[in-house]
Amino acid sequence: MAARHKRKNQQSKAHREFISESEETLEGMRGGLADLMDQRVDPARDGEIDPDLINTIFRAAHSLKGLAGMFGLDSLGRLAHHLEDVLDGLRLGRNSPNSPAIDLLDEAVRLFASLLPQVGSDDFEENSVSPVDDLIARIEVALEDAVNVPDELAGLDLDPSLLRALTEYEEHRLRENLRRGRHLSLVDTTFEILSFEEGLAEISAAIKEVGEVVSTLPSPGEVPESQIRFSLLAATKISAEELAARLEFSHTSVRSISAPAAVEEAHPSEPDSASSRASEPPEAGLQAGSEPPEAGAASEMDSLRSISATVRVDIKKLDDLMNMVGELSIQRASILDIVQRLSREPSTARIGGELGRVHKLLDRKLNELQSGVLEVRMVPLRQVFEKLSRVVRRLQRDLGKDVAIDFSGSDTELDKLIVEQLVDPLMHVVRNAFDHAIETAEERRNVGKPERGEIFITASQRGNHVVIEVRDDGRGIDFDLVRRVAAERGLVPADAQMTEKETLDLLFEPGFSTRGSISSTSGRGVGMDVVRTNLVAMGGMVEISTTAGLGSCVTLTLPITLAIIQALIVGVENQRFAIPLNSVLETLSVDPGSIQTSEGRELLNLRGEALPLRRLSDEFRLTDTGAARDRQFVVVLGLGDRRTGLLVDTLEGQKDTVIKAIQGPIEQVRGIAGATEDGENGAILVIDVASILDDAARRRDAA
C-alpha cells in the first residue's frame, strides 16, 4: 500500500521536473526561432542564417528529446526528434531556410508548449498521440524537398589531412562560405599552453568580427614544449591579406586557401617574434588540392561537438565514492594501529617497520584519491548565478520592477552538493530583495535614487569557507516595522526593548513576514527561517546587515565542502564529540585557575583579549560526573569574526570524518551538525560551530 503511494508521488514529482526543465528550454527555443524568422527575411543577410543560432536551437531540440526520453514521454520525444531532424537539415544545408519545414518548427514548439501542462495526467499519451502524429506527418512531407549540394571542396588549397579532420557540419560550412564567395584562410597561431584558452578566444573573436571560424584544430609541428599550436579555418568577407592586417597577434600567420597565394605575416606585437616566424617554412602539405575529400571523411556526425568534454555524474555516485574513501581512511587508521603495535614488540619490529613504510605510501595515495574525488565534486557558482539571472528576469516581468543583477566571483567553486542545496535559499534571498527591499520606480525617484534598482551578488573564498553576499540598494530594513510585526505575532512582548541585532534576528523566526498580503513571489512567511535552517544544516550561517534608506546585505557563509572534513575529536564527560577543524583557530591547555568569571560568564585572557568561554558539558547539559580536573582544554572556535572558546576535558586528536545528517524523527538538534561513524565505538556527534557562536553572541548582547 505504502509502496504504491510512494510510486505515484514520485511520478508526479518527476513530471513536475520535466515540465519545469522543458519550459525553460522551450522558451529559449521560441526566442531562437523568432530570431531565425527575422534573419530569414533580412535583406542584408541574403538568406543566410547565423550558424551559431541554428546550433543553439538544435541543441535545445536535442535537450527536449533527451528529457522526454528520460521521463518516458513517448509522443513528446518523437516530436522533439522531428524538430531535431528539421534543424539538422537546416544546419547541413539539406534544407533551405525558406523551406516549409522551417515554418512548421514554430507550430511544433507551440504544440509542445500546449501539451506540456497536461504531462502527468493519466491519459496524456493517448491524448497527445494524434496531434503529434499529424504534425510529424506534415513535417516529413515538408522535409522531402531537400536540396542536394554539389561538392565544392575540390580546388581548395588545404591539406587533405586537415580536410579529413573536419566534421560533416564544418564541411558544410566550408561549402556554404565558398558558395557565397567568401575568402577562406588558414590562420596559424601559437600560444603558451598555460594560457592558450584566452588567446584562442581572443583570436576567434577577432576573426568573427569579419567572418566565421569554421573550425579550430590543434596543429602538429615543431613548437617549444611550453607552447601549443592551432590552425583556425576562417571564412571572411575580406581577403587573407586584410585579415592578416587585422589580426595583431604574435606568432600568427594567415594563409589564403581559396586560391593558392603567398604566406602573409600578421603584425605581431614583438618585433623579434616576427622575424623568427618569417624564417619558418610555410604550412606543411601545401598542395594544389585537386583530390576531393574522402566520402564520409569526418568521424560520424558529431553534432554535439560544441558541447564541452564533460560527463554528467549523478551526485549520489559522488557521495558513494566519498563514503568509500572515508571508509578506506578508517581502515588505513586501523593499519597504522597495527603498525604501532607490531613496532613495539622487538620480535615483530622489523615487520612493523615494513608495514609502516607501506602504510605511509598508502596514506599518501589515499590523500590524493580524496583530493581527486573532492575536486570532482567542485563546481563553479556560475551555474547558480545563471539560474538566479533567469529568476530575476522572470520577477521583472511579473512584478514590473526594473532591477539589475550583477555577479562577481562566479568562478568560486563549491562542492556540488552544497551548490545544489544553496540554490533555493539563495533564490529566496534574491526574491526577498527584489520584492521587499527594492522600492518601486516612483519611490526611488522620490528619494533621489536611480529608477533602476540593483542587486549585487558576490562570492569569494575565505580560507575554508565561501562567503556569498547579496547586497541591494533598496530601502533597508525598518526596525520599527519589524518590532511591531513581531509583537503582533506574539513573538516578543509589545514593549520589548531590543537591540538592532536582536531585531534582525526576528526575521529568522518561522512564520515571520512583514508583508500584509502574500504576493505570488514571496511573503508567504516561509522565508528566512528556512534559509537559516538550510544553511546551518550545511554547516554554514547567514547574517543580515542593513542601513535605512540605503539597502541591506545578506551574507551566507558556507564550508567549501561537506564531504570529508578534518575534525578535532574532544572528550567531555566520557563522551566524544567532533569539531570541524576549519572552524578551530587554536587549542590551548588551561589551568582551571586561569579562568575568570565576569557577570556570571567565564572568560579567558587570550593574549590580552577576553575570550568568552563555554563549557561543552553545559552546552549539552551532560551529566557532570563531578570528576575534578586539574587541566582542561579550550578549543578556540571562529567563524567570520566571532570567537568563542569551548571548554572540554580531553583532546583526542584529529580525524578525517564524513559528516552524515542524523536521520530520525527529530529533524534538527541545536548545536549538532551531524554525526560521523567511529568504527566499532558507534557514532561521534559533530558540533555545529555556528550555533554555538550564535548562542554566545546572543548571550553577550543580552547582557
Residues that bind another protein (CB under 8 A): 1-3, 5-6, 9, 323, 575, 619-622, 660-666, 668-672, 674-678, 680-685
Dist. CA 211–CA 591, nearest whole Å:
77
Closest approach of another protein to the CB of residue 564, in Å: 13
Q: Which is nearer to another protein, 148 or 663 (CB)?
A: 663
Closest approach of another protein to the CB of residue 665, in Å: 5
Q: Is 86 helix (H, G, I), strand (E, B) or coil?
A: helix
Closest approach of another protein to the CB of residue 12, in Å: 14
Q: Which is nearer to another protein, 81 or 699 (CB)?
A: 699
Residue 222: CB atoms within 10 A of its CB come to 7
Q: Which is nearer to another protein, 160 or 671 (CB)?
A: 671
Q: Are 438 and 474 in contact (CB under 8 A)?
A: yes
Closest approach of another protein to the CB of residue 3, in Å: 6
For residue 243 the three cell numbers come to: 585579415
Q: Which is nearer to another protein, 229 or 332 (CB)?
A: 332
For residue 639 the three cell numbers come to: 567563524
Q: Which is nearer to another protein, 284 or 661 (CB)?
A: 661
For residue 255 the three cell numbers come to: 594563409
Closest approach of another protein to the CB of residue 684, in Å: 7
Q: Is 260 helix (H, G, I), strand (E, B) or coil?
A: coil
Q: Which is nearer to another protein, 483 or 576 (CB)?
A: 576
Closest approach of another protein to the CB of residue 419, in Å: 21
Residue 599: CB atoms within 10 A of its CB come to 6
Dist. CA 202–CA 189, nearest whole Å:
12
Q: Which is nearer to another protein, 152 or 573 (CB)?
A: 573
Dist. CA 660–CA 667, nearest whole Å:
13
Closest approach of another protein to the CB of residue 576, in Å: 8
Q: What is the DSSP string of 381-429?
A: THHHHHHHHHHHHHHHHHH---EEEEEE-TT-EEEHHHHHHHHHHHHHH
Q: Are 66 and 83 in contact (CB under 8 A)?
A: no
Closest approach of another protein to the CB of residue 534, in Å: 16
Nearest to 514 by CA among 528, 534, 532: 528
Q: Which is nearer to another protein, 80 or 564 (CB)?
A: 564
Sign of CA dihedral 570, 575, 579, 584: negative
Q: Are 198 and 208 in contact (CB under 8 A)?
A: no
Q: What is the DSSP string of 159-188?
A: -HHHHHHS-HHHHHHHHHHHHTT-EEEEEE
Q: Which is nearer to another protein, 5 or 397 (CB)?
A: 5
Nearest to 427 by CA among 526, 547, 315: 526
For residue 300 the three cell numbers come to: 560520424
Q: Which is nearer to another protein, 323 or 343 (CB)?
A: 323
CB within 8 Å of 490: residues ≥ 6 apart: none
Sign of CA dihedral 531, 532, 533, 539: positive
Nearest to 87 by CA among 69, 114, 65: 65
Dist. CA 70–CA 204, nearest whole Å:
36
Angle between helices 51-70 and 2-41 (to 10 degrees): 160
Closest approach of another protein to the CB of residue 330, in Å: 11
Q: Which is nearer to another protein, 415 or 619 (CB)?
A: 619
What are the φ/ψ torsions at residue 669 (nearest 5 degrees)? -110, 125
Q: Which is nearer to another protein, 63 or 534 (CB)?
A: 534
For residue 92 the three cell numbers come to: 547541413
DSSP 319: H
Q: Are 694 and 619 in contact (CB under 8 A)?
A: no
Q: Which is nearer to another protein, 8 or 164 (CB)?
A: 8
Dist. CA 174–CA 153, nearest whole Å:
8
Q: Are 683 and 696 in contact (CB under 8 A)?
A: no
Closest approach of another protein to the CB of residue 561, in Å: 18
Dist. CA 201–CA 206, nearest whole Å:
9
Q: Which is nearer to another protein, 100 or 679 (CB)?
A: 679
Closest approach of another protein to the CB of residue 524, in Å: 21
E-strand stretches of 23-168: none
How far, CA to CA in Å, does 334 sit from each of 202, 340, 367, 494, 538? Answer: 54, 10, 16, 60, 29
Closest approach of another protein to the CB of residue 586, in Å: 25
Closest approach of another protein to the CB of residue 222, in Å: 54
Closest approach of another protein to the CB of residue 662, in Å: 5
CB within 8 Å of 332: residues ≥ 6 apart: 359, 362, 363, 366
Q: Which is nearer to another protein, 176 or 619 (CB)?
A: 619
What one-letter code names the amino acid at 485? V
Closest approach of another protein to the CB of residue 6, in Å: 6
Burial of 555 (0-12, 13-18, 19+ CB in 10 A): middle
Dist. CA 458–CA 381, nearest whole Å:
10
Q: Which is nearer to another protein, 406 or 667 (CB)?
A: 667
Closest approach of another protein to the CB of residue 635, in Å: 17
Q: Which is nearer to another protein, 36 or 686 (CB)?
A: 686
For residue 310 the three cell numbers come to: 564533460
Closest approach of another protein to the CB of residue 17, in Å: 17
DSSP 660: B
